[in-house]
Structure formats: C-alpha cells, structure tokens
Structure 1
Amino acid sequence: MKARHIQHLYFRAGFGIETQTLESLSLKSRHEVVRQLIKDSSNVEHLRIDLSELEALMNLEYRQLKNRETTKSVKALVTKSQKKLINFNVAWIERLTTSNAVLAEKMTLFWANVFVCRDNNIWYMQRYNNLLRSNALGNFRDLVKEVAQSASMSKYLNNRQNVKESPNENFARELMELFTLGIGNYTENDIKEAARAFTGWSFRLNGDFFLRRFKHDNGEKQFFGKTGNFNGEDIIDIILEQKQCARFICEKLYRYFVNPVKDIDHVEELTNIFYADYDIKNLMEYLFTRGWFYEEKNIGAKIKSPIELLVGIHKVVPVAYHQKQQLIYLQKLMGQVLLYPPNVAGWKGDKSWIDPNTLMLRLKLASILLNDAIIDMDVKGELEDDFEDFYREKANRKRFIKTTKSWGIFDSKYEGVSFEALKDLLIIASVDKDTEHFMSSLEVSDKRAYCIQLMSIPEYQLC
C-alpha cells in the first residue's frame, strides 16, 4: 500500500501516524492494513477517572435521599461532579493521544457528535461516553437502544418527564430528526406516537435504566404505517427498517471520514452495505478498502477540528499542562470543548471551525504549546465553573500556556528522519507554492524548530 494512502487512512481513522508504524505497514496490502487497523480496536478499555467519592451516594435508592444530611451530601457532590468533568475532558484528550485503538477512539468522537448529549453529572456522563466507546464499532441497533436508555440522554432530552398522562415529545423528535432519519422523513404524528411508546422510561440514581410501568402508555400506536402496542425498542426497530436511517448515518459518516462534499453515488453504496445488517465495523472496513476513499480529491480535503488539531500536535510532541484549566481554555478559544456541545445538533464542523480569530490561534497553536508563545484573544461564550474565574481577569488573557514538553520522545522517534520526510509525514495536503517558498527560505538546522514551523503552516490545518 502506498505510504501516502496509509497516511491518509490514519489521518481520517485516527490522528496521524508515526514513522515506525508507516514503515511497518508499507509492505502490506490495503486490505491487510485496514484489517490491522480494525484488529487494533477489537479490545477497547473503558475510560475512567476516580469517582470513588461519588460511588456510595450514586448507589442509594431515591427514597433514601429524603434524609436531609444525605441531600446536602448529594448537592456537595454535584458541585464536585462538575469539576470532575474537567478531569474527564483531560483524560479523554490523553486517551485520544495515546491509545492504540485509534479507530475505536475516532469513532467514539464521531458518535459523540451524532448522539449529542450534555450532562453535569460525571457519573452518568462517564457511563455515556463509555457506552459510545463500547458500541463504536458494534451494531448500530444496539447503540441506538443503549443511548435511548442512558441516564444522561434521558436527562438531556427530558425523557424522564415523558409519562402517559402528559407525553413529552422532545426525545422522540430528536431521535428522528438528529439521530436517525433527518428532518422531513417523518410526520408530526410519528413523533406523537413515538413519544407515547417511550413513556415511563426512566433511570435509577446509579444510572441503570428501568421502566416505570404505571407511567407507560400500553395503548395501541400507529407508527410509520404500522399498528401495535409498541414500546420504545419497537419504535427504534421500525425506524431502522427505513433505509433512510442507514442513508442518514452514511451521509454523516461520509462527510466526517471522506469529504465534506457529499458524493451521492458513494453514499448510496455505503447505505446499501450498512442497511443489510447495521454492522458498523463491516461498514468501516468497506469504506476504508474502497479505491475512491484514496482519490486525491479526498486527501487533505478536511479542515481539522480543534480536537484533531490539538491531539495531532500532542502525538508528535507529548505535552503536559501545568494547569488542567488551560487545556479547557484552549478548546474553548478554538470552539470545541469535549463534553460541552453547543446544542443538541452538535458542532457543525468543516468551515465553521475557521474565523479570523480562530485561524490565527490555530496557526499559532504549535508555538503556544511548544515554544511558549503568548495567547492574545478573549474567550467568548459561557465557561464552566472554576475555569471561568481562572480567566476572568484581563491580566490572564495575555498569557502563556505553561506546558512540559517531551522533546526527548520526539527526538528518539524522529532521529533518523530527514527534514523532507518529516514534512511529508506531518503534512498530508498539497503544499501551496507560496508556502513552499517560505519553507525553503527558512534557515533551520534544528529539527525541533522545523517541526514547530511545519505545524504552523496553513496546510497543517487540513487532513
């Protein structure tokens, strides 16, 4: 398999590739490389942070919360929970940077922007994140059902308030509009009937799903031309019977992994594969072994998300932040904070990542992290809890991001790599003539400095 095609695969299925991995794969066929990529993601470990102080309370029954002291303890732990979300964000970035299960982790990131959810309860959110991770390359039917029964999604879209006396349509609507079918592919009556089927769905304090039977509507429902005493799982099964469901997901997947500009024929090709069994692993193997995936028009056609950009730099030169809030701050400045999607539709992606402010920051990011450059811009929008206070003062807006750089790891990895080979390894997009002229004019004899320069050119923003 061509080295350039392997690089393209690993930029899309992961966050780049190291020279040793590239060399070891270059003698293999495309199918062998893709199978190895998938095999590396066959055993995925859950991502966990220390939540031991929450465990005792989260395993109580709701009736036990009537005790005043217990209620006070819960409120105190909710505050701690919000701070723990910062720890989980940092741990997630670290997992994306270091995991060998690159495809499973990239798919987890993808699904997190399909089944968009936000929750200030770290216990539930950690479970939700690992739900996405466990099913990232599994069966889509299982994924949808587990998402629907999760505590975080139930809270986020008010499904716990959905009872037969007063159906709440929020989850049923978003399930079809944003998660499975797309707007215009269902009726208002479908929403009403689906909401009835999901009545009584709830969760225990520890996050386990349970059905409140007396709150569930056992009456007959009509949904997509079918009539029956449907429950929520039946509704999901009927939705997946619609080929539009497979098409909707394949369109999202194509834009994320292939090209922001949709190719109708290729999407339909993927749809036919996915609709047969909704097996995500089979779909990804099919996609990554297609010749059209490696066409030049698809290489370097994507603007990296802020997370892809951050993780990509971290993989080349590992960095440790002296204060966790600084990593959150960088994400906020660039417009993508993990665990904090802007709304239920998620991040738009592609060109929405770029505006005059974010572009300058993105171009300067490698220097900020690796060369102690100064950030000089204001953060916009809401910030969460303690990192809001941290950057409120004007004095903090012009500041260094203090990191410990593991240049020794970089030196050992790229010791025998020429400057030209390093450029080819880090830059997948075609380099503009003006950029080529600029790079050739640099009198750089230090590989570390050259690496920072490479990660500061416009073409590094693409993958």
Structure 2
Amino acid sequence: MLDPKNAWQPYTPSAENPWDRKKVGHLYRRSGFGATERELDAGVKDGHAKALDRVLAGETETEDFTRTSAFMASERSMPPGAPQGRLSAWWLDRMLKTRHPLREKLTLFWHNHFATSNAKVQNARFMLTQYRLIQEHALGSFRTLLTQMGADPAMLVWLDTNTSTKAAPNENYAREVMELFSLGVGNYTETDIRQAARAFTGYEIKEGKGTLNRRQHDASEKDVFGKKGKFTGEDIAGLCLDHEACPRFIVRKLYKFIVSDADTPGADLIDPLAEQYRRSGFDTGKLVSTILRSNLFFSPVAYRAKIKSPVEFAIGSVRALEGVIGTLPLAEVLDGLGQVLFAPPSVKGWDGGEAWLNAQTLLGRNNLALAITATDSARFGTRCDPAVLVAKHGAKTDAQLVDFLLGLFLQNDVSDEARTKLLDYLKATKDVKYPAYWSEDDIANHRTRAVTHLVLTLPEYQLN
C-alpha cells in the first residue's frame, strides 16, 4: 500500500513503474469507456503527461455529434412521452460518439448519485433537462449542481417536492439531499430533515421549469444544523455544502467510482482530497485531475480493481471494435443486464461492484458479445466486424490474431494458459467442416469473429 503522504502526488514514470500500454488502457477505462488501438498507441507514444492532458481536456465535438446528439433532442424526436428505450438509446449514442469521454463518464457518475428514474417521472423532456444540468457541471461546480438540482423538474417529480406545501411539507427531498446527495447517514438529525422539508415547500413546475411559488412556501424561521433563518431550498443546499461531512462524502463516492470499489480508504487518504475539494469551491474537475494524475491511481491498488458496469462493457467493446451499431437494440439488451439509463432502480442508484455479475447477467454479456461480433444479428447488423478491424491492423497468423486481440481488449493482462487456450481453439477450428460455398476468407473471418467473442467473455475482461 502506498504511503498516504505520496498517494495523491503526481505519478512519474520510472524503470520500476513505467508508462506503458497497460497504464494507457487503465486511464482510458476509468476516465471513459475504453480505448481504441489508435488511442492505445498514441497514449504510449505521447507519454503520460500529454496523454493525461488530452483525456482531461477532451477534444472538440464533431459536427455529426452536435447534429445527431444535441443535448435537447427536438420535440418531435423526443417528446415528453417518448418511450424509455429511445431515451436510453439517445445517451448511448452520445457515449459512443463523444470526443470527451471523461465528461460523459462523470455525467454517468452524477446521474447515479442523483438517481432519478423516468419510470416515475414519465417525462423524457424533464429527464433530458436534468441530463443537461448534470452534463454542464459534471466536471465543474458541485456547489452549483447541488443547488440547482433542488429545483430540477425531474427531481421535483421524482421526490415529490412539487406536491410539498407549507400546509403539508413532504420530507423526501430534504432527507435524500442529506443522506444520499451531500452528507451521508449520521451527519444530520430527524429534526434537521423536518425543518429542511419546510424550506423545500412551494416548488412547482411551470413551462417545464422549476419555480418557487411564494404563496405555498413556508417563509417562517427554520432551525437546521443549529443555524436559524427563513431558509429556502437553495439555502439548505448551502448549509449542506458548508457542513464538514460534505466534501468527505463526495470524495469517497468519487474514489469508489474512479479508483476502486474493492477497498475502503481510510481518512488519511480521503481527508487531503476532501480539503482540496472544499478549498476549491467544490471544483470537481480539479479533484478528478488530482485523482487521475496520482501515484495511487496508477498503482496496483487501483488496477483492475473495479467490475465493468453493463454500459462500460457494451460501450467499451463497441468502441474498441471501432464499430457502428444501433443504440436502440443496445438499450434493450442493457435492460436485461441490469442498467437502464435514465431509470436507476431506486433513489440509491445502482449498487455496482459485484452486484453487476450473476449467472443471468454473465450469460447476457456473453450473448451481447456474440451479437456484436458475429455480424449475423438482426439487431446489430454487420458494422461492428472484428474481421475488418483485424485486417486493418495486419494480423494474419493465429498468433498475431490472438496477440492483437489480447493487446487491444486487455493489454495482455491474461495468463499464458488463457492465451494458449485461445490458440488451441483456433487450431481446432481449422479442421472444422465449413459450408462448401465458403471461401478461405469467409472461414478466416468466421474464426476471427469467434475468437473475438471468446476474448470478450474472459473473466479478466469483466474488470475495469
């Protein structure tokens, strides 16, 4: 384990701890949705400083991305009553096309943090408005994000704040803003919740925006965290942000999301980041930069220490294959794998970690990997073909094919035994009786697709 004093110091390559393809792959998995072969090669060639700068800054989005994935889809293409699948597919399309994966990855983090489900909201436009709010501040000010979330239309519906009046305060949002959004259990009292609930009365939705109806708002004095005032919802957000528990709570969640969900970091690791976060005014971009540049992030503590979420598994696989697929059928598949975008299972969001994997979801991942690599799926078509990618990079022999695939998807993080099994599979398939009308290229392409599917089902590939 690293000395906590050095854990958050910037990583500097050395002979014992070099900058290599494995570290580039690690960076791209955690800061986005995995890397292409070109990105892996460029990351190694450019060196750690330039690669980190590029990941953190992102690149200018393409015109195609802007045209097809504008954050507020047209009323015609995404009306309030648009079905869940279309809403999820819209975001998956963004994830595949974005040139700033880190921003999209942090948007996914905050979506799970402020877990709001369209299953109850039942308004795609409200969900997209919340997405815009989160995406705008994903690498910016958490102070602004938390404050504005209290009047977000989707959140007002999700936690019933839009029905909360001075005559009948609803405690849902007051409770969750403390327990789940800013402080964590044990850092507030039931009295704090009841008092704060009065501050969140009178919020309603007009013309698609959250507004405060002063006639329904309890403007009398409240007592929260031992402080008194005629607080509104924005004031309560400010009190939560000023609470000493707030920066530690958020840093711990970001640690779990970026570094590892396999260990529980002590105060000696969390407190320095929490203090930096507080002093920066809750600048999430600066905090994430510190984490991604650190010795700890590039240490064995973090490496392969997370389990891929279904979205990470799916988007990472398609990106690495440089494929183009329909995101509507992909959204349908992810439903079976346990992760529906814009529809987390509860206000606590997805549990993540080991909860992602069980007999059913592993089978689902296997089937998805087969569907996108076999090129004969009616849902995904032929535009995600491993054979095309392999030919592009010149892998011809079985050994070259296996080495290319393991280098691309796993940066060779597999045992010699696993590599041998893949080679044995390819050797065995040479003697299979194929249809007489298949050409030698047909056979070679089929074998390439089949072994790619096997690589995507390796246990190691399920780790992030």
TM tier, shorter chain?
A: 0.7 to 0.9
1:123 aligns to what SS in structure 2?
A: helix
For structure 1, the residue ranges without an aligned partner over 5 or more in a row are 55-76, 375-399
Matching of residues 399-438 of structure 1 within 5 Å: 401-407=379-385, 410-411=389-390, 414-415=393-394, 418-419=400-401, 420-428=403-411, 430-432=413-415, 434-438=417-421
Q: 1:13 aligns with which of 31, 43, 61?
A: 31
After superposition, the Cα gap between the structure-2 partners of 1:10 and 1:167, relative to the gap in structure 1 and judged at 3 Å, is same
Q: 1:120 aligns with which of 110, 119, 122?
A: 122
Partner of 1:377: none
Q: Aligned-residue CA RMSD in angstroms?
A: 2.5
Q: In 2, distance between residues paired with 1:254 and 1:429?
A: 26
The Cα of 1:208 is off from its aligned counterpart by: 1.5
Q: In 2, distance between residues paired with 1:135 and 1:173?
A: 23
The Cα of 1:448 is off from its aligned counterpart by: 4.0
The Cα of 1:154 is off from its aligned counterpart by: 0.2
Residue 359 (str. 1) matches residue 373 (str. 2):
no
Partner of 1:61: none
Residue 191 (str. 1) matches residue 193 (str. 2):
yes
List per-residue Cα deviations over 1:140-163 (Å, max 9, x = no partner).
011111211110000000001111
Segment of structure 1 superposing worse, 428-437 or 185-194: 428-437
Matching of residues 97-176 of structure 1 within 5 Å: 97-118=96-117, 119-176=121-178
* Code of the aligned partner of 1:145: T
Partner of 2:16: none
Residue 52 (str. 1) matches residue 66 (str. 2):
no
> Is 1:150–1:208's contact at 8 Å kept on the other side of the alignment?
yes
The Cα of 1:172 is off from its aligned counterpart by: 0.5
Q: In 2, distance between residues paired with 1:311 and 1:42?
A: 20
The Cα of 1:266 is off from its aligned counterpart by: 2.6
1:295 aligns to what SS in structure 2?
A: coil
> Is 1:47–1:92's contact at 8 Å kept on the other side of the alignment?
no
Q: 2:305 aligns with which of 301, 304, 316?
A: 301
The Cα of 1:428 is off from its aligned counterpart by: 4.9
After superposition, the Cα gap between the structure-2 partners of 1:327 and 1:19, relative to the gap in structure 1 and judged at 3 Å, is closer
Matching of residues 23-422 of structure 1 within 5 Å: 23-40=41-58, 46-52=70-76, 81-83=81-83, 85-118=84-117, 119-204=121-206, 206-260=207-261, 261-264=263-266, 265-276=268-279, 277-317=281-321, 318-321=323-326, 324=328, 326-371=329-374, 401-407=379-385, 410-411=389-390, 414-415=393-394, 418-419=400-401, 420-422=403-405
TM-score of the two chains, using structure 1 as the length reference: 0.82
> Is 2:374–2:449's contact at 8 Å kept on the other side of the alignment?
no
The Cα of 1:52 is off from its aligned counterpart by: 3.5
Q: In 1, distance between residues paired with 2:42 and 2:330?
A: 33
After superposition, the Cα gap between the structure-2 partners of 1:428 and 1:190, relative to the gap in structure 1 and judged at 3 Å, is farther
Q: In 2, distance between residues paired with 1:451 and 1:53?
A: 36
After superposition, the Cα gap between the structure-2 partners of 1:454 and 1:273, relative to the gap in structure 1 and judged at 3 Å, is same
Q: In 1, distance between residues paired with 2:332 and 2:42?
A: 37
> Is 2:160–2:170's contact at 8 Å kept on the other side of the alignment?
yes
1:222 aligns to what SS in structure 2?
A: strand
2:55 aligns to what SS in structure 1?
A: helix
Higher RCO (C-alpha 8 Å, min separation 6): 2
Q: In 1, distance between residues paired with 2:184 and 2:239?
A: 15
Q: In 2, distance between residues paired with 1:50 and 1:404?
A: 29
Q: In 2, distance between residues paired with 1:187 and 1:429?
A: 51
Q: In 1, distance between residues paired with 2:48 and 2:407?
A: 20
The Cα of 1:413 is off from its aligned counterpart by: 5.5
> Is 2:406–2:412's contact at 8 Å kept on the other side of the alignment?
no
TM-score of the two chains, using structure 2 as the length reference: 0.82
Q: In 1, distance between residues paired with 2:394 and 2:239?
A: 56
The Cα of 1:95 is off from its aligned counterpart by: 1.1
List per-residue Cα deviations over 1:177-220 (Å, max 9, x = no partner).
1111111211001101111111112221x322211011111111
For structure 2, the residue ranges without an aligned partner over 5 or more in a row are 1-18, 428-443
> Is 1:40–1:101's contact at 8 Å kept on the other side of the alignment?
yes
1:404 aligns to what SS in structure 2?
A: coil
Partner of 1:70: none
Q: In the comparison of the two structures, how many residue pairs are matched?
A: 410
* Code of the aligned partner of 1:441: D
Q: In 1, distance between residues paired with 2:392 and 2:26?
A: 20
